[in-house]
Copies of this chain bind each other. A is one copy, B any other.
Amino acid sequence: MEQESRLAGMQRPGGRTARVREAVLAATQDELVERGFHGLAMDQVAARAGVGKTTVYRRWGSPAGLVADLMTELAEQSSPHADTGSAEADLRANAASVLGAVTDRRLGATFQAVIAAATCEEEAAAALRAFYGRRVAEWARSVERAVERGELPEGTDAAEVVRAVSAPLYYRLLVTKEPVDEDVAARSALQALAAARAGAFVRPAPAVASSAERGRSTSVRVQNVTTADQGSEMRG
């Protein structure tokens, strides 16, 4: 993409260019709140931002490009993540955080838009991945600490637990379109926690690695999907 190079290493980042970018991104967010992603028109954004249509096309190329840049902007802002000393409280806070993001009028519209854009534009998809990669890594630390404290089984895949907290929320938001509220968020956190405690997030021993800890944990193995009830797994 030619736009990217301009976005990243701008050769004249001083005054005007920065001002234009700021104005355009702000206008984009306003438009997203009012009309949603499918109603995002480059002309409108340009007009609202008070810049030329040509400029918007030149620098962002498409609605998806606008939205991707917006997401990149958001990704750069670090968010506070809880570390309360209790896995339950941390995961609840995580769920609440996701809830806040998708519920907030402005942020929610942006997320919806990015996800919509990501379904058809690789650029937006990459921005989304980058954002979540960062957030998941941040929150994973609190899960790791819970493992260190012995609250969760040894070998638990922290990032997986974090993802498991938000997965049901996004599932509702995107697939079933059910409302997402505090109740759902809290339950989601607790479900992830329960599964984690039961050892469902313990990484399968990679080939011939240390299978020593396994005896200690609740012994969850991933085997062939096919047949019925091997019975053994998952029991503590």
Q: A112-169: which have CB < 8 Å to B?
A: 112, 115-116, 118-121, 125, 128-129, 132-133, 163-164, 166-168
Q: Are B190 and A194 in contact (CB under 8 A)?
A: no
Instruction: Write the chain B residue with the least CB distance to A95.
Output: B225
The answer to whether A125 touches B228, judged by C-beta atoms less than 8 angstroms apart, is no
Interchain CA distance A132-B90 in the complex, whole Å: 31
A8 interface contact, C-beta 8 A: no
Beyond the given pairs A82-B228, A85-B229, A194-B220, 5 more chain A to chain B contacts, judged by CB atoms under 8 angstroms and listed by A's residue number, are A37-B119, A79-B234, A164-B191, A190-B221, A194-B194
User: Closest Cβ of chain B: how far from A130's Cβ, in Å?
Assistant: 10
A interface SS class: helix
Most chain B beta carbons < 10 A, residue from A37, A119, A120: A119
- In the complex, the answer to whether A100 meets B168 with C-beta atoms within 8 Å is no
Q: Does A235 contact B (CB under 8 A)?
A: yes
CB-CB < 8 A to A194: which residues of B? 194-195, 198-200, 218, 220, 234
Which residues of B have CB within 8 Å of A92? 225-228
> Which A residues between 83 and 117 are near B, CB-CB below 8 angstroms?
84-86, 88-90, 92-93, 95-97, 100-101, 104, 107, 112, 115-116
Q: By CB atoms of chain B within 10 A, which of A82, A101, A189, A228 has the most? A: A228
Q: How far is the CB of A79 from chain B (nearest CB, A)?
A: 5
Q: Would you call A34 an interface residue if the criterion is a C-beta within 8 Å of the partner chain's C-beta atoms? A: no
A85: chain B residues at CB < 8 Å are: 228-229
For the complex, what is the distance from the CA of A183 to the CA of B84, rounded to whole Å? 33
Most buried by B among A189, A194, A234: A234
User: Least Cβ distance of A103 to chain B in Å?
Assistant: 10
Residue A177 CB within 8 A of the other chain:
yes
- Which of B121, B163, B192, B232 is A38 in contact with, Cβ under 8 Å? B121
Of the listed residues A38, A85, A227, A229, the one surrounded by the most CB atoms of chain B closer than 10 A to its CB is A229
